[in-house]
Amino acid sequence: MDINPDRGNLHKIVILNPKGGSGKTTLATNLASFFARRGPPPTLIDCDPLGYSMRWLENRSTQAPKIYGFAAHEHCTEQGKGTELHAWPGSGQMIVDLPAAIAENQLYYETYDADSILIPITPSEIDIYSAARFIANLLLVAQFDRRKRNLAIVANRTRKNTISFRMLMRFLTSLEIPIIAKLRDSQVFVHAAARGIGVCDMPAYLVKNDMEQLEAIVRWLDNWRVRKLEAAAAESLKQAPAKEAFTPALVRHD
């Protein structure tokens, strides 16, 4: 996926999981609302031909904090090469909502220049199985490098203490991929989706738990430059030739 070359300080956030209904659009629209409220206006990019993110944006009141929208699938350049993306000048974040149906060989184009990648996973047994396969493909087919520290998981629609939830946690811990938040299964997300708002726009007493989780995601996202620098430093340390060990000259005492 290409983006405007003069990206500057724009933070590119890609949200993906080939499993339908895992919460990509929910996460994208809630993050967009959060960043919009904080300002400057983010750009929300809908790569799904079904256009749910753009429909959500159409339902948004003109009085609500501004979010720029871009229906990327309408501007497809070359089959199999992703889409040319455009963020509005002044946006701090470009949030890319990917569709479920994404070919394995397209994963590279969708992720190679992302500063942050979020994978929402719902903890049903079948979703865990497909997420495991997908993450393996991301590492192998898209040559994704975990050391870049730009990949994180958001557990979605969690019900604690279920077997599938514990399975999900074990699976992710074994991959050493951080799980940065756990969004509960709640109607607040459904109501927000229908009204073109995010949980951050709802009364605080209704969404206390959801806001804590959303803020945890934003904290991880906001740290993207530090993550990038740390990953680059770790890489250069690995590549630097090992310094010769100091060997004191032998002194003879005849």
Ligand X SMILES: Nc1ncnc2c1ncn2[C@@H]1O[C@H](COP(=O)(O)OP(=O)(O)OP(=O)(O)O)[C@@H](O)[C@H]1O
* Residue 165 binds to ligand X (criterion: CB under 6 A): no
Contact status: 31 vs ligand X (CB under 6 A): no
**Contact between 29 and Mg ion per CB under 5 A:** no
Please pick, from the candidates 25, 29, 122, 213, the single residue that binds Mg ion as defined by CB under 5 A.
25
Q: How far apart are CA 10 and CA 94, in angstroms?
A: 7
Rounded least distance, CB 113 to ligand X, Å: 22
Judged by CB under 5 A, does residue 24 bind Mg ion?
Answer: yes
Decide: is 193 part of the binding site for ligand X (CB under 6 A). yes
For 156, list phi and psi in degrees, rounded to 5: -120, 145
Give the residue, chosen from 3, 11, 12, 22, that forms a contact with ligand X under the rule CB under 6 A: 22
Q: Which of 26, 45, 37 is nearest to 95 (CA)?
A: 45
Using the rule CB under 6 A, give the single segment among 16-24, 82-90, 127-135, 170-178 that binds ligand X.
16-24
8 A C-beta contact, residue 85 and residue 57: no
- What distance in Å separates the CA atoms of residue 207 and residue 188, rounded to the nearest whole number? 7
Q: Is 150 in the site for Mg ion (CB under 5 A)?
A: no
In the bound state with ligand X, the residue whose beta carbon lies nearer, of 134 and 189, is 189
Q: Is 182 in the site for ligand X (CB under 6 A)?
A: no
| Amino acid at the residue 87 | A
Q: Measure the CA–CA gap between 120 and 15, rounded to whole angstroms.
A: 8
- ∠ CA 219-88-72, nearest 5°, is 95
d(CA 192, CA 171): 31
Specify the residue, 48 or 149, whose C-beta has the smaller distance to ligand X: 48
Burial of residue 103 (CB within 10 Å: 0-12, 13-18, 19+) is exposed
Enter the tokens of residue 147: 């050391």
Q: Does residue 189 interact with ligand X by CB under 6 A?
A: yes
Answer yes or no whether residue 19 interacts with Mg ion by CB under 5 A.
no
Q: Give the residue with the Cβ less far from Mg ion, 25 or 150.
A: 25
Binding site for ligand X (CB under 6 A): 20-26, 48, 52, 99-100, 156-157, 183, 185-186, 189-190, 193
